[in-house]
Structure 1
């Protein structure tokens, strides 16, 4: 019986085992202390230049990313962001499958490459490639 990992590789997507759940917030200054004190998460880093931070959940390679936004939709809106080993190969696999992309791969120098795409219902999902991994 094939595993999920084997099936994904057969489609050209090699996951790296990481998952970042991206959540829009109105203020990093207010959200970070709440996630730390209420949910027991630990701030990994904060980048004010891109209005972003990530917190550790305590589950290996599963983080919560907070993105400061001018308008936050109430009632949800988290974006599942899956770590992949080769974002260019993952993009090619999505394109081959006719998946709608939200632009091209975006790179934050020295940190990460990101690609947003949509499921059939229009829900945004993302792939990330960690540039710190050799």
Structure 2
């Protein structure tokens, strides 16, 4: 049986920063930004047309929605929970220690973000991000 120390030790090794971004696909950034704003009250944080991506702030503190425009949305693809960490390389090392499977290496968008996609035992995609735009 796992102890409280066993359960919290993994959290400390990961270095979570308290943020959560749910990444989803959309056929149209314009339509999705409008819908999430009008229907759910989300606020556009930023949009990067060069990579067909935007993030919206939800009414929940530090919980954002990231939207990726794609040619064909995968029905039932669902959201990809994307947790913020302070040091993505250290977090990757912690995951490697547990034999976690990755979808490639850390991807960096200079001055913006570092991303790492990995999978749970059922094959569900999860991501980590390190915010490069924030000091610290």
| 1:30 CA displacement | 1.1
Asked if 1:115 is matched to 2:92, the reply is: no
Q: Say what the alpha-carbon RMSD is for the aligned residues.
A: 1.8
Give the corresponding residue for 1:91: 92
Q: Matches of 1:5 and 1:84 in 2, distance apart?
A: 18
For residue 36 of structure 2, give the secondary structure of its aligned residue in structure 1. Answer: helix
Which stretch of structure 1 is more off in the superposition, 73-82 or 29-38? 73-82
| 1:75 CA displacement | 3.0
Normalising by structure 2, what TM-score? 0.91
The correspondence of residues 35-114 of structure 1 with structure 2, limited to 5 A, is: 35-114=36-115
For residue 6 of structure 1, give the secondary structure of its aligned residue in structure 2. Answer: helix
Q: Matches of 1:5 and 1:132 in 2, distance apart?
A: 30
Conservation of the 8 A alpha-carbon contact between 1:5 and 1:15: no
Q: Matches of 2:11 and 2:32 in 1, distance apart?
A: 37
Match of 1:6 among 8, 11, 22: 8
Give the corresponding residue for 2:32: 31
Give the corresponding residue for 1:15: 16
| 1:76 CA displacement | 4.2
Q: Matches of 2:65 and 2:36 in 1, distance apart?
A: 9
